Amino acid sequence: MKTLLKTLLLISLLTLTAVPAWSDDASGKPQNKIELSVTGLLDCTNAMAIQCGDVIDGDNTDSVNNVELYSCVAWNESGGEDVYEIILDDYYVLNIALSNMQADLDVFLLTECDEATCTAYGNSTISGEFNPGTYYIVVDGYDGAASSYTLTVECELPPQPEEEDGSICNFFSICYDWNFNDGDWGFAPEPCDPTQGAPVWQYGLETTVPGSPGNVWATVLNGDYLAISGEGLYSPTFMVTPECSWMEVKHYVFTEGYTTGSGNIYDGGNVTVDDIVIPPAEGYTGICNSGSAPCVLQEEVFAGNVTDGVPIRTWGRSCFDLSQFMDMTIRVRFDFGSDSSVQRPGWYLEYVKIGNTDGPIPTEETTWGMLKALYR
């Protein structure tokens, strides 16, 4: 019955601006994110302060209903809201669970006291990694549902990524070694889309992402990227030669949720040269099919950083073949774009290296002959 009612409600909401989304809803139904025409209805005046490890017995039967729509779902939440405030003092894996319910309650996680800032939701659970800051957990009732419940909140530090040795490109020699912990190396943020999305690329010390090497180029340092962001990060110019025709990037990606097979990607980044998308050897995550992400819309991108709902937050290396630009002077551009809702830490670059993967570049025999002749 809930599936039928939610489907009918979704049809009635077509007058709202909608973009595709995915949910951790156990039924596996596709859901829609919506742009709310009215926001700021949530009342956090009596929000209960909670902390990691708390187990709370609650009941929304007598709670006031101020909010019926959240930006991350498209069905009616007309039950009373119970609001909780939690402050994370570190970068945590946050697990929120509802149990012991007698009616259809849902749980929402907001970055502000505003239903338009919904960053995660679930029929009974929310699990993900979140930056330090203040969050609001809201227990609400689908279609007026009211019940007692138990709310459990657990936090744990994410596992530190293991350091990789060597080079994924298997460089024989390196022409340029731009390690951003040593400096910005003249990389420069510039617009990458006529729609002029919000600027996001910043250089400096990153302290919130696990395994951060120190100074990096990032789509907003120590925080989440902006809504409707769109900006490119240009490398210095260099000539592509046989000695300098491959590029290795060590990076970290964590954008709005992506589940393998869902087909939905809303935010992400890719590598381009003269607006040509350059694929990494391992391939991109998928195509950004958001309706509002500047720079990368309908292009292949790195995105998500989950596989079938399992976090794999690690620093990884990607290898790019630049040989199609042989004998050309180029600038590589790192493009990033996001849609209007749900922000995450984004894209972080530790280093960019340009080199040769094929061993010594052979020297023509006639050249050696000419050199020998000079000394005869």
What pLDDT shows up at residue 72? 80
Q: What is the pLDDT of residues 76-90, one digit of tens each?
A: 899 999 999 999 887
pLDDT at 111 over 70: yes
Residues 95 and 239: their CA atoms lie apart, in Å, by: 49
Whether residue 263 has pLDDT greater than 80: no
Average of per-residue pLDDT values in the chain: 81
What is the rounded average pLDDT of the residues 360-374? 40
Dist CA 244 CA 235 (whole Å):
14
pLDDT interval class at 343 (50, 70, 90): confident
Averaging pLDDT over each range in 92-96, 162-166, 214-218, 278-282, which range is the top one?
214-218
pLDDT in tens, 124-147: 999 887 878 899 999 999 999 999
Q: Which domains does the chain have, with CATH numbers?
A: 2-156 (2.60.120.380), 173-356 (2.60.120.200)
Closest by CA position to 145, among listed 77, 50, 44, 238 = 77
Find out whether 36 and 116 touch, Cβ atoms under 8 Å.
yes
Give residue 17's pLDDT. 30
Q: Report yes or no: 171 and 319 within 8 Å, Cβ to Cβ.
A: no
